[in-house]
Amino acid sequence: MESRLTDSLRVVFILTILLATGSSENDQALTFCGTWRHGKHSLHLSYNLSPGCKGISISANKSSLSVEGQITAQCRRSDVIDLKQFGFDSEEQSDFCLYWEPLLDQLKLQIGGKNLTLCWPTSLQGTCCTDLSLGPKQPEADYGIVNGRIQTDIITEKTRIAFKFNGRPISCKHLCNQARGGPTQVNMIEDNAENPCASSFEVEMNDDFRGYNVTSPVTKGVFQESTATVHLPSALKQAVKMTTKVVCTFFRNNTQFQVGHKEVRILSEVVEITVENEIIIDLPEPIRIDFYHDAIPKMHSRKCVSWDTRKNPLQVSWLVDGCITQQRGAENTECLCNHLTYFSVLVQLEPQPVRHLLALTIITSLGCAMSVISCVVLITFLCRKRRPKEQSKPIHLGLAVSLAALNLLFFFTGVLANVGGEGLCTWVGAALHYSLLSAFTWMGIEVFYTFWLVCMVLTKYTLPKPYIWNLVGFVLPAVPIVILAAVGDIYGMRELVPSDDISNPYQMCWMKSNDKALLAHYFTTMTILVILVLLGIMMLFLIYWKIRHRVEWRQNRVAFLSIWGLSCLFGTSWGLTFLDFGPLSDLVIFLFCILNSFQGFFLMLRFYMLEWMSKQAGDSAQSSNSNGSTRQHMLKAPEKSEMD
């Protein structure tokens, strides 16, 4: 009895607030949230929406969440969709929120981390449905909606099968004037009060239509100048079959169109160009849209994008397909598009989107797979060589093992990021960083060993024992990893945004994109890489200077193979990362991926060629060391053996 009284008082309190705010101003939005208590079965979303202002009902049962009613001005949509296609999990309850924006005729459902647009934004004329008030109390059930609330005010903590709201019609023009006059007392989406109303212009394409310019209106006191201009080409007249009218709608408030990724955001207003009951694509002459916006720094890229509601009717998905971007300055972007839909400019914050990400991912995955197999073959080959006094063997083994671990982790990092989530990614990211530092360390050891062969082999100094190499190559790289892991918030999920599909980022386990991780990246990875590349290049020049007059080096094949083989050991190809700028950026990034992902394969190929050349030469004594060809072409025959 006490519980029922509490619920009744809570409902009366909420209604009193709504009525009090409605006495002076009408509601600009409604936010209804709750927790859907369901079973571990196949889950569905059902919606049936039509124009009117009778009200809306949100109901739920064991397997279905339903939204139906008449509150829209123009939207008429109904469907039943399987939530599994949106990656919806099978937990026993799920939080959701329903957002109603009467000034945009937009209804959105947020569930399972996904934003589903049930009614698309549009410009309104005539009547809007607002001031939604809570209807009659619905029965309780085991499955349904628990903790239903309006804004942040809880209606009831019990599980109800449904919540119903009754609407009240009002002039859209009157409601828009209220919104422009200042913020209301109800909770609204940020910046909505600034200019929440869309503006539409209808263009009549007569027989003598030669093109037409439509400019977004200037709003006194808010925007002192136009922010977008649309040029409709004459080719649009020939493409339209059933009507002569085209509608251009300008949405100054773009918060409803944001994609949700913190790396990108809609920069300018959104423009919708439509022809009733027709789909217009592949125009021979593109539609030109000029967007005027705040100045964009050169380090931030921007792209003209469109949202094709036919391909993605429920989720806002901005794609570059069908649009060409022309930057007319820091404050002007021109879009040339060959179809009709929603258009805007998407600006990339940080990091910049990756061009050709799919192709680079395929190349890298293939290279990593080949390198893992090649490193396993090379490890087997080196272990079978029974020459206990061979000092280079543990060094080559260490490099092969570290490269195998690096390529294996990198091959699976995308899969593990999507399967394991943030928790697993913390461990995988740390392991991937460790394997990269370990590989760099072993490459540095290879540089030192080659320097010893060239300059110190005839001295009294001897090489360290194999366990020293293992401590340096495997234990030392773990020190910064442990420190960074202790600091925290360094390793985890990382998103790479493809330039051709900005709303669909590639996930991997690596360092995060925050300031601490960036600082750690520069102090560890980049510092070691700079040292490694500089030493490797210096070593290659030293070798060339020592043996440039040898007879063998006059043969181009021998010279090329020697430098190429040493580059595989020294890791100098990793230095291409410092050349990723300018007009050759695409070429450099492709070379970087090919050379470094296939490094394990190239390394195995080098040792195979050394073995083959040794057998061809028939000099088993000189080829007993796996650096044989390096010494053979670098050092003179009577030198003291390195095994002494």
pLDDT tens-place string over residues 93-129: 888 999 888 888 888 888 877 788 888 887 766 788 8
Query: Which residues neighbour 98 within 8 Å (Cβ) at sequence distance 6 or greater?
Result: 30, 31, 32, 33, 58, 67, 107, 108, 109, 110
pTM, 2 dp: 0.51
pLDDT of residue 199 exceeding 70? yes
Q: What is the pLDDT of residues 49-97, one digit of tens each?
A: 998 888 899 999 888 999 999 988 888 888 888 887 776 666 778 889 9
From start to end of 220-322, where are the E strands? 228-232, 245-251, 264-266, 270-274, 287-292, 302-307, 318-319
Percent of all residues in the chain with a pLDDT value above 70, rounded to a whole number: 77
pLDDT of residue 390 exceeding 80? no
pLDDT of 351: 52
pLDDT band, very low/low/confident/very high, at 483 (cuts 50, 70, 90): very high
pLDDT of 224: 47
Residue that wins the pLDDT comparison between 9 and 368: 368
DSSP, res 147: E
Residue that wins the pLDDT comparison between 579 and 87: 579
Query: Assign residue 186 a region: left if phi > 0, alpha if psi is -120 to 50, beta otherwise?
Result: beta
Element (H, E) at 128: strand 127-134
Q: Which of 11-15, 281-285, 457-461 has the highest mean pLDDT?
A: 281-285
pLDDT of residue 176 exceeding 50? yes
Mean of all residue pLDDT scores within the chain = 78
pLDDT band, very low/low/confident/very high, at 484 (cuts 50, 70, 90): very high
In this prediction, residues 600-624 reach a mean pLDDT of: 70
Q: What is the pLDDT of residues 370-385, one digit of tens each?
A: 999 999 999 998 888 7
Q: How far apart are the first and last CA of the chain?
A: 96
In this prediction, residues 602-613 reach a mean pLDDT of: 81
Percent of all residues in the chain with a pLDDT value above 90, rounded to a whole number: 17
pLDDT of residue 555 exceeding 80? no
pLDDT of residue 636 exceeding 90? no
pLDDT of residue 496 exceeding 60? yes
pLDDT of residue 204 exceeding 50? yes
pLDDT of 518: 85
pLDDT of 261: 55
Q: What is the pLDDT of residues 507-535, one digit of tens each?
A: 889 998 777 888 999 999 999 999 988 88
pLDDT of residue 6 exceeding 70? no
Judging by beta carbons within 10 Å of its beta carbon (0-12, 13-18, 19+), is residue 426 exposed, middle or buried? Answer: buried
Residue 466 CA to residue 394 CA, distance in Å, equals 6
pLDDT of residue 229 exceeding 50? yes
Q: What is the pLDDT of residues 246-295, one digit of tens each?
A: 888 888 777 767 765 555 677 768 888 888 778 888 888 889 999 888 77
pLDDT of 349: 56
Judging by beta carbons within 10 Å of its beta carbon (0-12, 13-18, 19+), is residue 312 exposed, middle or buried? Answer: middle
